[in-house]
A and B are shown apart, each in its own frame.
Chain A
Amino acid sequence: MSEDRNRILALLAAGKITTEEAERLLDALETGPAAQPSGGGITGDPAPLIAALPKYLYVQVDGSTGDNVNVKIPVALVRSGLKLTSLIPDQAMDQINRSMSEHGMSVDLANLKPEDIDELIESLREMEINVDGKNGDVVRIFCA
């Protein structure tokens, strides 16, 4: 069983994609290598893969005192926001990078290219953050 197939089945098992999406992805995998034996990428109709991309970023906060916050952010909004980083003036960008590095995040936002943004968005599918606080607060961030 190929690595891609395993990954799709794992996503299905985790409930991140529906059975229909998994079926479409598996179909795309099967048709891909036939059209390109070298395995340089998936060919054919990209619609199933696009349809399986995450559409929303969810932030759920369940407070121990009964306070709940649910936020559903379209991934397209995240993408548009990230694209705005390229318009940040150099002086401001230096300050942002310095401040982020002081807080332990040494990421140079100036080097964020459009293709990196797409890759970042695509990889959000596999991201899931679960934080259980000592006082019973639960924070969950995931994409679907």
Chain B
Amino acid sequence: MSLPPVMLHLEVTRPPRRSVRLWLPLFLLWPLALMLGVLALPVAAVVDLVRLLCGRRDHHYAMLLVRLSALCCETRGLVIQIDKRNETVNLTVH
């Protein structure tokens, strides 16, 4: 698993309007995400355990949280560019 995304660059150009360039510092969300994860993981583990004891083995919420966080981390390098005549939208995850 790699590091979570650090920055999100969003650029919207719609002439004759002024273009918008945003650098969103995603690293500021890391502590919040970590805190939420630390809180949610034990809850999910307990729910999984209770469901397992009840004979329901079809949901794995703890594993889902782990895999989703891994998915978020792997978004680094994602680039989406949309050009429509004069309008352009560029989104890059760094």
User: Is B truly associated with A?
Assistant: yes
Interface digits, A64-100 against B, CB 8 Å rule (1 contact, 0 not)? Answer: 0111111111101101110110010111000000000
Q: Which single member of A68, A77, A91 contacts B74 (CB below 8 Å)?
A: A77
A-binding segment of B7-15, B26-34, B35-43, B62-70:
B62-70
Tell me how far the C-beta of B14 lies from the nearest C-beta in chain A, rounded to whole angstroms.
Answer: 14
Rounded to whole angstroms, the CA-CA distance of A84 and B73 in the bound complex is 14
Q: Which single member of A68, A80, A89 contacts B83 (CB below 8 Å)?
A: A68
Task: Verify B58–A89 contact, CB threshold 8 A.
Answer: yes
Summed over the interface, the residue pairs from A and B with CB atoms below 8 Å come to a total of: 62
Q: Is the interface of A mostly helix, strand, loop or mixed?
A: mixed
Q: Which single member of A70, A71, A72, A81 contacts B71 (CB below 8 Å)?
A: A81
Contact-residue bracket for chain A: 20 to 34
Q: A90 and B58 in contact (CB under 8 A), knowing A77-B78, A84-B71?
A: yes
Which A residues touch B2, using CB under 8 A?
Answer: 76
Task: Verify B71–A77 contact, CB threshold 8 A.
Answer: yes
Task: Verify A80–B67 contact, CB threshold 8 A.
Answer: yes
Q: At the interface, yes or no: A142 with Cβ under 8 Å from chain B? A: no
Task: Verify B81–A70 contact, CB threshold 8 A.
Answer: yes
Task: Verify A80–B79 contact, CB threshold 8 A.
Answer: no
Which B residues touch A68, using CB under 8 A?
Answer: 81-83
Which B residues touch A83, using CB under 8 A?
Answer: 67, 70
Rounded to whole angstroms, the CA-CA distance of A58 and B94 in the bound complex is 17
